């Protein structure tokens, strides 16, 4: 039973060509996050939503945008991908499940920029 779903799992795009990654959740959690993770590095938070309130990290480039049309869905838009944006993009949710506040990650989307 997938709880945090990301599509696609693998995305190939060309340098400068806009790309959108999607995330959906069945947990009804009110917080959703987008992380960027490069090889052998810790996940780096890009931004998060608390309900509809958008919170951008100070060092997230303007090239990265996000939309959350409803509780279940969240999108990551990369307006002009550069070679340095090739990474795994992880979506996560946060909420109280089984009495414990936890963060759950989706399977990730691996982005390749040619």
Q: Which stretch binds other proteins (CB under 8 A): 14-22, 41-49, 58-66, 76-84?
A: 41-49
| Residue 66 in tokens | 């996000």
Say which DSSP state 84 is in: G
Contact of 9 with 107, CB cutoff 8 Å? yes
Q: Which stretch binds other proteins (CB under 8 A): 15-23, 60-68, 70-78, 97-105?
A: 97-105
State the binding string over 55-94 for other proteins (x if CB under 8 A, else -): x--------------------------------x-x---x
| Cβ neighbours, 10 Å, residue 75 | 16
28 makes contact with other proteins (CB under 8 A): no
Contact of 29 with 36, CB cutoff 8 Å? no
To which residue do tokens 């963060």 refer? Answer: 103
- The residue ranges that bind other proteins (CB under 8 A) are 30-31, 33, 40-43, 45, 48, 50, 55, 88, 90, 94, 100-108, 110
């Amino acid at each position: 039973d997938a709880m945090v779903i990301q599509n696609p799992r693998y995305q190939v795009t060309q340098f400068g060509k806009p790309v959108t990654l999607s995330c959906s959740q069945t947990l009804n959690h009110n917080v959703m996050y987008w992380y960027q993770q490069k090889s052998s590095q810790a996940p780096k938070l890009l931004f998060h939503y608390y309900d509809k309130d958008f919170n951008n990290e100070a060092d997230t480039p303007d090239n990265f945008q996000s939309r959350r049309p409803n509780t279940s869905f969240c999108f990551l838009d990369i307006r002009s991908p550069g070679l340095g944006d090739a990474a795994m993009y992880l979506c996560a949710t946060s909420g109280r499940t089984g009495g414990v506040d936890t963060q759950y990650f989706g399977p990730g989307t691996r982005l390749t920029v040619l």
